[in-house]
Amino acid sequence: MPTLPVIRDAVPADAAALAAIYAPQVLTGTASYEDVAPDAAEMARRLADVQGRGLPWLVAAESGGGVVGYAYASPYRSRAAYRFTLENSIYVAAGQEGRGIGRALLRTLLHRCAVLGYRRMLAIVGDSRNSASLALHRAAGFVEVGRLPGVGVKFGEALDQILLIRDLQRDR
């Protein structure tokens, strides 16, 4: 049985790997509703923004240092009433699915956000057919609370978003 990668905080030097993991989701997948894959400089900017807010951006790194997945938390909305609610994003490199990487990243992310005092985490899953993401979040205790039909359009197809939520206080 292969060993799980180490979960650690992302560093700016990871930006190219983050961009490489995310690009196929943007260019050929429907998990992300972006149309243009961000380059390493843009991923570095996004990483700095998340970490600059005191929020975790984690990577799964193999023993040789290669990054095979990442997860981060970002504010759900900017208004003060939402200050204790976060949204998560998780991506695993192509060919690395099914190894428990997403589960390890999500588990660590949930714990870190709970320790920081956040109360709720949302998962906004793009494309209701994304069964792997839905299963991952449900296994981690997320509950589906809504569906936004046809709110995204990618590759000429109207796509739903599924909203899931999880109480972080149980992890404190």
Q: Give the mean pLDDT of the chain.
A: 94
Alpha carbons 38 and 80: distance in angstroms, whole number: 29
> Angle 160-165-166 (CA atoms, 0-180°, nearest 5)?
155
Cα distance between the two ends of the chain: 31
For every one of its 172 residues, what pLDDT tens digit does the chain have, with 9 covering 90 and above? 567 899 999 999 999 999 999 999 999 999 999 999 999 999 999 999 999 999 999 999 998 889 999 999 999 999 999 999 999 999 999 989 988 999 999 999 999 999 999 999 999 999 888 999 999 999 999 999 999 999 999 999 999 999 999 999 875 5
Of residues 105, 6, 12, the one with CA closest to residue 52? 12
